[in-house]
Structure 1
Amino acid sequence: MSKINELSREDWILSTFPEWGTWINEEIESEIVEPNKVAMWWLGNMGTWIKTEGDANIVIDLWVSTGKKTKTNPFMKPKHQHQRAVGCVRLQPNLRKTPCIIDPFKIKKIDAVLATHSHSDHIDVNVAAAIVQNCPEAKFIGPKSCTDLWRKWGVPEDRMVEVRPGDEVEIKDMKICMVESFDRTMLLTVANDDDVLKGKMPPNMDDLAVNYIVKTKGGNIYHAGDSHYSNYYVKHARDHKIDVALVGYGENPRGMTDKLTSSDVLKVAESLDTQVIIPIHYDIWTNFMADPKEIEVLYEMRKNRMRYKFKPYIWQPGGKFIFPDNKDDREYMYPRGFEDAFELEPDLPFLQIL
C-alpha cells in the first residue's frame, strides 16, 4: 500500500501538533539560571513561564487551545464573553494567530500553575489535566473564579490555593504577591442573567481576578493579566519594587475596549516605575492583532520630553528573556544558528564563489 493511502487526518494532527513539539519544554527544563538573574519565556497570549536560580518554576495564564474554527454558525453562542462585553450577536473572527509553543503533557517539572482570571484564553482544561496527571506536587493558584473552574474540571481540592489581593505565596526562592486587577471586562462577562435580575451586579473584582508580582533574587516581575489602565498602578509601585512588567496589548475592534492601547502601555510603565515594559497578548487573536512597533514610535517621540526611565521591549512567542541581561535590549530575535556554525566540522571546506 502506498504511503499516501496509509496516512489519515489523525496521523497528520499527531505528527504536526503542537507545531514546536517539545523544543521549548526541553529549553526550559535544561536552563540553569545564574545567580541574581531570572529567566522568562513567552508561551503565547499572556502565557509566561518564570524560572529562578533556585529552580522555582511557575507558569502564568498558560493556554494551549484555539479560537474560532468554522463559519458554519454566524451567531455567537449564548452568554459568550464578547456578547456580554459589547452586546454583539454575530460571530467574532477571533482566530488563533500564533502556533502552540509548548506541549503541556510533556511538562515534567513545575511548582505551580497560576491564572489571573477565568476567561477562557487564560485558563486551560488541557493544562490542568496535564499537570494533575504528570506533576503531582504542583499547585494551582488563582482567584475564586479560577479555583471554581479548576474544581469543576476535577483538580483535587488540596492542590488549589485560592488567593485575593494582599495574599502572598512562597515557592522555593520565589515570593508571589497578589495585587488588585483592573480587568473591567471581567465585570461585564461573568454574571448570568439571574444575577443581573436579582441586583447582584457588579460582582466583586477581588473574587474574579488578580495581578501577580513575582519576586525573585534576580528581579521582580509584574504580570497584569488583562488589566486595563488604572491610577492604582502607582500604589502598586509604591508598595513593591517592579523591574519588568508584562501587560496585555492589542488593537481593540470597534465597540470593544478590552486591551491596552499603545499610549496606555507607556502610561502603565510610567505608573509602575518599572525598568522594562513588555507588551504581550497582541499575538494571539486575528481581530485584535496589533503592531508593537507603534509603542516604539510613541516612546521615541516622548522619551526625552517625558524623561522616561523605562524601556519598551518587543518580544516574540517562544522567546527567552533574562533579567537583568536583556533589560537594555529593545527587540527579541530568535537564535539564528551562527553561534554553533563552526563548532562541529572545523575541517569541512567552504565553497568559495569567485
Structure 2
Amino acid sequence: MINDVNIKDLDRQKWINNVFPEWGTFLNEEIDNTVVEENKFKMWWLGCTGIWVKTPADCNIIIDLWLDTGKQTRKFPAPPAWGQGKDFQMARMMGSKQWQPNARSAPMVIDPFAITKMDAVLSTHFHRDHIDPYVAAAIVANTDAPFIGPKYSADMWRKWGVPEERITVVKPGDSVKIKDVEIVAVDSFDRTALITAPPAGDIRGICPSDMDDRAVNFIIKTPGGNLYHSGDSHFSNYFVKHGKEYDIDVVLVSYGENPIGCSDKVTSVDCCRIAENLRAKVLIPFHYDIWSNMLADPKEIELVYNYRKDRLNYKFNVFLWEVGGGYLFPDDKGKKRFMFERGFSDAFEEEPNIPFKSFL
C-alpha cells in the first residue's frame, strides 16, 4: 500500500517495476475471465491498431499488438535501431531533414508477459507500431501460438528469434483455420508501407517490391460475424471488391491527423468511404490515439457521418472506442460510444463508513 511506503526505499527502477504497464494485469484478467456466448465475438482495443479477438471456442487472437514506445528524448542522434532524422522512414518518405516528434500517447493497457493463452499472433505489416519484439518474446515463452503475417513481418520475427516452425507467411487469398476462426489475408492498400523502403542492407529490402510481401489486411471470420482489420490501408476503390466477396460486419480503419507534407493516415471522409465500399455494418476508427504528432479527434468522423448519412443513405454505424475497452458483436452493433464500467452499482447496500452527512 502506498501509505506504507518510505521514500528512502524508492528509486527509478522500483517506480518502473511498480507502475508499468500502467494497467498491470487489470485487462489481462478481464480477458481471461470473459466467456463469449455462441454466435458472438468480443474484441478489445489495446492501443494503436492492436486488437485482441476472442470467440465462443475460446480462440484468442492478437493483431498488430505493439507495446514499445516512441520518442523518449530530444537528444539526437538517438540509438540507430529504427533510424532517426533523415534516415527515419517517415522523414525519407517526405524528403524531410527533421526527426518525427512522435511520442507515444496511449497507455500500456496489457501485460504481454502475463498472457497465458494465445492461439495466433498476427501482423499486418513491418512498421514498428504493428509488430513487437516484447510481444514475440512473451508469446514464444508462454504459448504455442503461431505467428502469421506477410513476408516482411516474418523476416522480422525470424531475426528476433521466433522459431521457424512457428512462422506462417501469408499473401492475399491465403487463409488459416484455428479453432472456430478462419483468418483470411486480403490485399493491403498501405501506400506508406509500399514507399517507405528501409535503408539498403535492411532485411526488409529496398524499393520497389511487391506490396503482398510487405503488407496484408486481415478478415477474421468468427461464429459471431466477420471483422475486417485494415492495418494502415489508405482508401482504395478495391475495397468494393472485398465488400462484394466477403460479408463484412465490423471494419477497423487507421484514422489520424496528417502532418504537413504527409498522407499517412486516413481522413474522416475516407473512413466513411471505406465502410461504405466494404458494405460494413459498423465503422470503428483506431490508430489516432498513439502518436502525439498525429493525434486526431474521432468526433470529426461523427460530424462527417451525420452530415452525409441521410443524403448518401449510409447503412453502417460509427462507433467511437476507448483504449482498453471491449466491444461485443452483435450486441454492441448499434452503440455510438464506449464507456468503461462505472462501478458502485451496489451503492448503499451497506451503510457508508464515512461521515458524509456532515457535508450535506
Q: Give the aligned partner of residue 34 of structure 2.
A: 31
Which amino acid is the alignment partner of residue 89 of structure 2? Answer: Q
Does residue 102 (structure 1) correspond to residue 110 (structure 2)? The answer is yes
- Alignment correspondent of 1:122: 130
Q: Read off the aligned partner of 2:174 and give its amino acid letter.
A: D
Q: Does 1:262 align with 2:263?
A: no
Q: Give the TM-score, by structure 2 length.
A: 0.92
Of 43, 54, 57, which residue of structure 2 is paired with 1:54? 57
Percent of aligned pairs with the same amino acid: 54
Alpha-carbon RMSD across the aligned residues, in angstroms, is 1.9
Give the CA deviation at 1:284: 0.5
Aligned residue in 2 for 1:318? 324
Q: 1:172 to 1:202 in 2, by over 3 A?
A: same
Offset, 1:46: 0.2
Hey, what's the Cα distance between the residues in 1 that align with 2:37 and 2:124?
28
Output the CA distance in 1 between the equivalents of 2:71 and 2:352. 50
Q: Which amino acid aligns with 2:258?
A: N
Tell me the CA shift for residue 340 of structure 1.
4.2
Contact kept in structure 1, 2:146 and 2:166, CA below 8 Å: yes
Picking from 161, 164, 189, the partner of 2:168 is: 161
Change in CA separation of 1:181 and 1:305 when aligned onto 2, cut-off 3 Å: same
Aligned residue for 1:146, secondary structure, equals helix
Q: Structure 1, residues 121-142: CA drift from partner, whole Å, max 9, x if none?
A: 100000000001111x111000
CA distance in 1: counterparts of 2:325 and 2:17, whole angstroms: 24
Secondary structure of 2:332's counterpart equals coil
Q: Which runs of structure 1 show a deviation greater than 4 angstroms over 4 or more consecutive aligned residues?
A: 347-354
Deviation of the 1:6 alpha carbon: 2.0
Larger deviation, residues 185-194 vs 110-119: 185-194
Encode CA deviations 1:91-112: one digit per residue, 9 max, x unaligned: 2110101111100000000001
The aligned counterpart of 1:11 is 14
Q: Distance in 2 between matches of 1:340 and 1:206?
A: 53
CA shift for structure 1 position 346: 3.8
* Corresponding residue pairs, total: 347
**2:86–2:96 CA contact under 8 A, matched in 1:** no
Q: TM-score, normalised by structure 1?
A: 0.94
Shift of 1:8: 1.1
User: Unaligned stretches of 5+ in structure 1?
Assistant: none
2:195: which partner in 1?
Answer: 188
TM-fit CA distance, 1:74: 7.0
Who is 1:301 aligned against? 307
TM-aligned CA deviation for residue 334 of structure 1: 1.1
Q: Which moved more, 1:84-93 or 1:252-261?
A: 84-93
Output the amino acid matched with 1:39: K
Structure 2 residues not aligned, in runs of 5+: 79-83
Alpha-carbon separation, structure 1, partners of 2:353 and 2:102: 50
